[in-house]
């Protein structure tokens, strides 16, 4: 991880450090199976609500995105990978929406010629 001056964290993503770069497969169908939950951690109480996913749910669909702490058995989600998959899903939905809008526009034009 890289720590930036603004206290945010990142990972190396420089194209110059990568090879065998290919487009990713679609994750949309699988991502839609994972439910976002509102919850609180047992040690912080209900006054600090959180929003996220349950590692056990993610593990069923994407087992490589979940790691287990060998000492406690607690599960963690590799959110950096998960977020990248979400970007892929947003791009796919956007392309679908644009294609549908083009179809709507074409159909409107057809209707206009019939009126």
User: What mean pLDDT is predicted for residues 90-104?
Assistant: 97
pLDDT tens, residue by residue, 17-28: 899 999 999 999
pLDDT given for residue 9 in this prediction: 62
> Buried (b) or exposed (e) across 30-55, using 16+ Cβ within 10 A?
ebeebeeeeeeeeeeeeeeeeeebeb
| Strand 50-52 relative to strand 9-10, pairing | unpaired
Phi-psi region of 20 (alpha: psi -120 to 50; beta: other; left: phi over 0): left
pLDDT given for residue 115 in this prediction: 86
Structure tokens at 50: 């959180």
Structure tokens at 27: 């994750």
pLDDT tens, residue by residue, 45-72: 788 889 999 999 999 999 999 999 999 9
How far is residue 87's CA from residue 91's CA, in Å, rounded to a whole number? 6
How far is residue 106's CA from residue 111's CA, in Å, rounded to a whole number? 9
User: What mean pLDDT is predicted for residues 93-107?
Assistant: 97
């Amino acid at each position: 991880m890289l720590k930036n001056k603004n206290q945010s964290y990142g990972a190396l993503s420089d194209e110059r450090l990568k090879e065998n770069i290919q487009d990713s497969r679609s994750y949309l169908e699988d991502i839609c199976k994972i439910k976002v939950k509102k919850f609180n951690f047992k040690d912080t109480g209900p006054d600090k609500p959180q929003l996220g996913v349950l590692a056990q749910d993610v593990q069923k669909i994407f087992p490589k995105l979940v790691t287990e702490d060998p000492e406690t058995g607690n599960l963690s989600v590799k959110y950096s990978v998960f977020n990248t998959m979400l970007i892929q899903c947003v791009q796919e939905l956007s392309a679908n929406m644009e294609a549908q809008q083009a179809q709507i526009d074409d159909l409107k034009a057809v209707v206009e010629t019939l009126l």
